[in-house]
Amino acid sequence: FIIDSEDGTVPIARNVFDLTKEGYAVCGGNVPRNATLSLGSLDYDDVIETTTSLMRAIEKTAQARNALIFSCMSRNIALGVETLAEMETIRNTLQGRVTYQFSYSGGELSLVDDRAGNAVKRFQNDTIVACIL
């Protein structure tokens, strides 16, 4: 699901992990009341495109010497049988330029701005994040 909290922050993804016997969806994070739900999908091309975009941004950061990179495990699942494709994209882009550590996670924390410009911490699914050191 793509969740719009209607609070001025960017919409976020929520993976459905299970259905209860009552028919409720068990999601990978909170789904606020009165939020707008949309359907979304993540596929191989999306994963490679967003990974490539982030790696190019890291590469262009002059002070980038080291990077910690975390990708949501759901992105790995979206790669199908090409399970190493995201790691290969990172290696092919950064190798010899930036020392990095890459791993998969079960969700990622990030800061997004609300309507008032305040930073709001959000737990996300389907994302890739990096900390440049």
Residue 62: what residue type? A
Tens of pLDDT, residue by residue over 76-127, are 999 999 999 999 999 999 988 899 999 999 878 878 888 888 898 888 888 9
> How far, in Å, CA of 133 to CA of 94, rounded?
14
> How far, in Å, CA of 80 to CA of 72, rounded?
14
Its pTM stands at 0.81
Tens of pLDDT, residue by residue over 17-45, are 899 999 999 988 888 889 999 999 999 99
Q: Is residue 40 within 8 Å of residue 125, measured between CB atoms?
A: no
Sign of CA dihedral 56, 61, 67, 73: negative
Give the distance from CA 8 to its chain's centroid. Answer: 19
Structure tokens at 25: 């969806």
